[in-house]
Structure 1
Amino acid sequence: MGRPKEHDEATRATLLEAAEGLLAEGGPDVLSVRRVSDAAGTSTRAVYSLFGSKDGLLRALYQSMFRDLRRRVLAVPETRDPVADLVGVGVEAFRAQALAHPHLFRLAFEWPKRRTTTTDEDRQEAWAAFEALLTRVKRVGPPRGLGDEEARRLAVGFHALCQGLASGELGGFFANDRDPLGVWRGALATYVKGLRARQKR
């Protein structure tokens, strides 16, 4: 009979939750193995056993951001209205993820050092989320479909718009607006309808 694991998935989840909470106090630069283990009520050994290092912990947080984003994108229903569906992806997936996990959003998109420490595994998780978005963008094109390069470029634009809206909302840019959701829907609908009109030319 094998020896039971000392540090299991429950411990891993607790450590990630504690690390995410500590990001609010000063971002990734102030995170430490000791602070995370103390906040999670466990030992530094647990962090090293499950993640290898502080960098490994940060990578796990980064990957969880894109894994959750992909799940949210896939969860948005597909209807006979691909324009409304794509707007829904922006609001129900991207905005929802940013508001639910603002510090993971900043780690993934705003922390300067993240780009210099990204691994192939990190990029795979990010690309998987982007591919889910790409599938929705292709539905907005003409019946003959979009070429891969054109669809990718339009998806990058949609993603950038979502990222900017999320950064603005998290940064308080919409603080005096009574309907931030309306801001999102209006901006995304304008982009997607413009995309659709362009394809019909």
Structure 2
Amino acid sequence: MQCITLEGASLGIDYYFLKPDWSRLADTEQASILRDAIVIAFANCSTSVFAGFVIFSILGFLAHELGVGVEEVASSGSGLAFVVYPAAVTLMPLAPLWSLLFFAMLITLGLDSQFTMVEAVTTAILDQFLSLRSRKPLVVGVTCLLLFIMGLTMCLEGGVYMFELFFFFSSGLSVIILAITEIVGVHYVYGAPMISTAIAFGA
């Protein structure tokens, strides 16, 4: 990090970060699908590794404050997000600020997940029923309303139990099985030669 203190370093940072070339947004030239897929995969894994450092540094801090081992405070799922982290941020300096940032992060993470979920569901509906494409706002609205009603079950007295059921059956091994099934299904329907041609065309 000492490189940013070198003479003229601000010129490079200004060119790299503060003066983006907005005209490139209008460039509709097809990008390399293979390259983008590799970059996204590495970016995703790198983000996970970075998040791991953040998570376990907080867990280590909490374990130090409580005088216990990290394994005793490390839990997954809702316990980690809604019990361990809130307890950790209350022990930090400027606790209200960190609490605000933490729950703002949870809200934005949840909204981001909902955007992709709603888009996936509505796209499948509109692809199946082409006559509904002219009424996409209505389809999106009804989809959001139904998901909202289903989510209300988690706000009832047994909501935590319902949440844990959803969490258990929608993550972990089930995601891996679903991903493998999708790969096999796409390969069975389209075949390896067509997929290779599509990748080559995208490149």
Q: What's the TM-score once normalised by structure 2's chain length?
A: 0.30
Query: Comparing both structures, which one devotes a greater share of its residues to helix?
Result: 2
Q: What's the TM-score once normalised by structure 1's chain length?
A: 0.30
Q: Which has the larger radius of gyration?
A: 2
